[in-house]
Amino acid sequence: MVDAYERAEEAAAALRTRFGVGSVDLAFVLGSGWSAAAGSLGTEIGQCPLEELPHFAAPVVLGHGGLLRLVRTSGGKVAAVFTGRTHLYEGRGVEPVVHGVRTAIAAGASMIVLTNGCGGLRREWGPGTPVLLSDHINLSGATPLVGPRFIDLTAVYSPRLRALAREVEPDLPEGVYVQFHGPQFETPAEVRMAGVLGGDLVGMSTTVEAVAARELDAEVLGISLVTNLAAGISPEPLNHHEVLEAGAAAAPRLTALLSGIAERL
């Protein structure tokens, strides 16, 4: 029986063949609101719809591009840029959620940049604020690990990569990201709970991908885009369109941030 890691190896081999590269060095996963930054990360080598690679499916969330782009950064690195991701709430299970990360690492990536759009618990972080992830709390009830795979998550989000990101934007704040399963937005009570537990941001992605990457010894940089104040903090009803609007408004800042990071990785 073919397991998840073998499926990632199969996809990685197809990626290398499709784009004519020996390996990739790093990967970016662009979440809601981040797609505008895709063209700023380097000189394009090529692109293809995700579903044309083994064991990938087209993203179903509005605002996710659905492409895998390979680019060469100004520093000479080959980067895989995923303009969409699979979410737990799609009901496909955990393996498809982390398949992109595992494929990138199987293709050679040693650094993974995970981005997302999220709700913020701090009023001083208004919509359009990028926040470095210092840690996370996984309330999704899911893990990509099966069996006795005990891994250390003391520093799941690399201090080295966070310091590098601050070379680009010195005043970037840091926060703790709390993942819920979704697809419903969090209730005000759930948001209060997240704050009591130590969370600063709430969303529906990222943590299981970070765990999958750390299992395979890749360094992880996590960056959230605050697209709205979370339920109970914002007086307005929540909807996905405000996520896209916040991403569009913040596009120049996000583009400068990710392109600066890509130059330094």
The residues annotated with a catalytic role in the active site are 186
Q: From 180, 43, 73, select the one nearest 118 (Cα to Cα).
A: 180
For residue 198, count other CB atoms closer than 10 A to its CB: 11
Compute the distance between CA of residue 265 and CA of residue 249 in angstroms, rounded to an integer: 26
Are the CB atoms for 8 and 106 separated by under 8 Å?
yes
Read off the tokens for 69: 């782009």
Read off the tokens for 78: 């080959």
Read off the tokens for 15: 């990626």
